[in-house]
Structure 1
Amino acid sequence: MRVDGLLFDKDGTLFDFGATWNSWAGGMIRDFANGDDALAERIARAMDFDLASGAFLPQSIIIAGTNRDAAEAVASALPGADVAALEERLMRAAATAPLVEAVPLGAFLDDLAGFGMRLGVMTNDTEYAARAHLGEAGVVEKFDFVAGFDSGFGAKPDPSPLLAFADQMSLDPARVVMVGDSTHDLVAGRRAGMQTVAVLTGVALEDELAPYADAVFPDIGHLTAWVQG
């Protein structure tokens, strides 16, 4: 079926998840713990983060969850913590995380736009962080639509934010592809009546994603040939 629009997840899709977020999370845990090793371990367990290997565990809610989910996880290890204040701190810190592009994004997005595609980003991160990251990569202006879980459309796996992209771009959802690295992304795409493509630049493995995807690729770079075909 013809593809008129591509809607991308951000972390693990446009940006390699481990290379971008593992070192950042380790640093945030140390900051929250303020030199207390036992507290650092408690925070890491709450986040499902392995301090020894410096990596998120596959089951971590933070991988596909919202900034609020991350704040609540941290707060569970900090009795009396203000969740709203933690959420604000995480949002601002995340906006400055080191970014590792899954592929050189500028040329990749230009190629897709050259085919007449409408392009969007829907992330369970905040819209503030999404725009900061896309701006840092020099590609924010290449997207017609950028939304976070806090943009008023809901969060994945709810299909509503995906359908908002299709509606704002005047596209048939069946001719839109949701591209992501988690089952949240793909389930949302299926619920929205969209085509779905999984990429392996996140934490999830192919056998976890394949049941929900029309195609599974090592990274988004393989999309260019796929949408033409």
Structure 2
Amino acid sequence: MAMEASMVKAVIFDKDGTLFDFTATWGPWTADLLRDLADDAAHADRLARAVGFDLSTCRFDPASPVIAGTPGDSARALEAALPGMTLDAIVRILIERSRDVVPAPAVPLAPLLSELTDRGLALAVVTNDAEGPALEQLDGHAHHFAFIAGCDSGHGAKPDPDPLLAAARALGHAAEDCIMVGDSLHDIRAAHAAGMRALGVLTGPATELPGAEAVLPDIGHLPRWLDATT
């Protein structure tokens, strides 16, 4: 879906795979979690297969429901392999354990975010992670963002457009003046549904992002891209 180019006044970032390198952040965490949940090595392998994860390499299959999904999506993928636990219990474990993750920024964030705000751009984060852990992971960078929403913030989850539209309202800009930057098809589809431009980055497991206006190696290339296109 082609979007008519317009002046970018606001940038809405995905979190995992965009601000943070997905595999470096979530690979070791997922391996530890699955082994802790499992009864034995065979059970750990079964859990890993359920979420499209390779325990030996700590890497996700590009089709894994964990990549762009909510904690609920991940819990549903694990549910059949954890018959002694309720879905709600699995979700709670995933959210609580996610507070232990050590984020690996895709690029040095402080200088990039400062440059973007110095250009007069309004910034937001819309993630399918829960809001509480997201705020903790963004930590010292949160002040750069006028709006931060997770899947449990009351605006829904991507690929639905509602959280992106809520971000645009909070930033005070029309949807067509915003660009969504993300590493998954959920990000691209949500942007299109919201009437926003969509930009892809390759710091998540996906190697192709059809529908993105452009695909950058990482968000560090964003300022140059903005200079060339707006």
Q: Same fold (TM over 0.5)?
A: yes
Deviation (angstroms), 1:56: 1.2
Q: State the Cα deviation string for residues 135-194 of structure 1 (Å, max 9, x = none).
A: 1xx101111000011111111110111011111222011110000000100111011111
2:104 paired residue number: 100
Please state how far the C-alpha of 1:44 moved relative to its aligned partner: 0.9
Of the three residues 103, 121, 136, the one matched with 2:125 is 121
Structure 1 moving runs of 4+ over 3 Å: none
Instruction: Tell me the equivalent position of 2:227.
Output: 228
SS of match in other structure, 1:212: coil
Q: So what's the TM-score if we normalise by structure 2?
A: 0.94
Counterpart residue number, 1:144: 146
Gaps in structure 1 of 5+ consecutive residues: none
* Structure 1 Cα separation of the partners of residues 114 and 58 of structure 2: 35
Alignment pair present for 1:21 and 2:20: no
SS at match of 1:7: strand
Query: What residue in structure 1 maps to residue 13 of structure 2?
Result: 8
- Aligned mates of 2:225, 2:75 — CA distance in 1: 38
Q: What amino acid sits opposite 1:127 in the alignment?
A: E
Equivalences, count: 223
Once the two structures are TM-superposed, the CA of residue 228 in structure 1 deviates from its matched residue by 3.0
1:85 to 80, 83, 89: 89
Match of 2:190 in 1: 188
Deviation at 1:59, TM superposition (A): 1.1
Q: Kindly report the root-mean-square deviation, in angstroms, between the aligned alpha carbons of the 2 structures.
A: 1.1
Could you tell me the percent identity over the aligned residues?
48
| Structure 1 residue 46, shift from structure 2 partner | 1.0
